[in-house]
Amino acid sequence: MKFSRYCGIFLCAALAALLAGAARCDAPGDEARGERILVAYFTWAENARPSGAAEVDAVTSASLAPPGNAGLIASWIAEETGGTLFPIIAEEPYPSDFDECLARVREEKQSGARPAIKDLGIDAGEYGVIFLGYPNWGCTAPMPVFTFIEKYGMSGKTIIPFCTYGTGGAAESIRELRAALPASAEMKGHVGVYRDDVAGARGKITEWLKQLGY
């Protein structure tokens, strides 16, 4: 009788432990959440006022045709990593004339502005890895990118920048993004793509992702 009773107690305890373990596996724990990928990006094409102007600036080759240069790269990254796309959209659109756009960009940079961005209903806190894309404007990332960093908080996250540029590559943007991140955030190797090469750059992006382990 005692043996049977002890066996019953043991089996009940084992079953309880098994069920508890299964519950832990089913629940979205910290480790599982940490693997979720967000592909956040800012692109002129999705932030400019409609004007009926040419889709590509004749002087700079900056694209106003959706999804824009950074948006196109973001779509490739999302497709290859299974990440969620998150366009960074300023509340106040930028001019569709590139010179006027850069004038506003310089003013925002000099003043350290943090332009308001739209809330698209995605909780960035649920993602542990954030690919962060943008065009190099005025030797750095557009100020709404910094708004995104400060609004959603990057503590404990892995940030992987990618940018498009005309001259100067990533310029000061990587250093300034790193300075804007909390100490607990990790920044991994970035990639830059020259604006005229974006359309044919998918192979480069795929190889970069492989090097990062994606």
* 186 and 100 together in one domain: yes
* 94 and 137 together in one domain: yes
Report the percent of the chain where pLDDT is more than 90: 65
* 113 and 71 together in one domain: yes
* 87 and 181 together in one domain: yes
* 17 and 100 together in one domain: no
Query: Mean pLDDT throughout 40-52?
Result: 87
* 130 and 165 together in one domain: yes
Domain containing residue 195: CATH number: 3.40.50.360
- DSSP class of 9: H
**What average pLDDT is seen over the chain?**
82
Find the DSSP H helices in the chain: 2-26, 30-34, 68-81, 98-111, 143-152, 173-180, 202-212
SS3 167: coil
Express each pLDDT in 3-42 by its tens digit: 444 444 433 444 344 334 443 333 333 333 447 999 999 9
* 15 and 46 together in one domain: no
* 189 and 131 together in one domain: yes
- Number of structural domains in the chain: 2
* 113 and 50 together in one domain: yes
* 18 and 46 together in one domain: no
pLDDT score for 172: 87
* 20 and 40 together in one domain: no
pLDDT score for 121: 87
Residue-range definition of the domain harbouring residue 6: 1-27
pLDDT score for 58: 38
Q: In terms of Cα–Cα distance, which of 156, 40, 48, 34 is closest to 98?
A: 48
Express each pLDDT in 150-186 by its tens digit: 999 899 999 999 999 987 788 789 999 999 999 999 9
Note the residue count of the chain: 214
d(CA 146, CA 12): 54
* 193 and 143 together in one domain: yes
Q: At residue 192, does pLDDT exceed 70? A: yes
Express each pLDDT in 91-124 by its tens digit: 999 999 989 999 999 999 999 999 999 998 888 8
Phi, psi of 14 (to 5 degrees): -65, -40
Phi, psi of 117 (to 5 degrees): -120, 155
| Sign of the torsion angle spanned by Cα atoms 47, 50, 54, 55 | positive
- Under the banding of pLDDT at 50, 70 and 90, the label for residue 65 is low
Question: What is the Cα 24 distance to its own chain's centre?
Answer: 29
Q: In terms of Cα–Cα distance, which of 197, 125, 189, 194 is closest to 161?
A: 189
pLDDT score for 49: 85
Find the DSSP H helices in 53-172: 68-81, 98-111, 143-152
| Sign of the torsion angle spanned by Cα atoms 60, 191, 202, 120 | negative
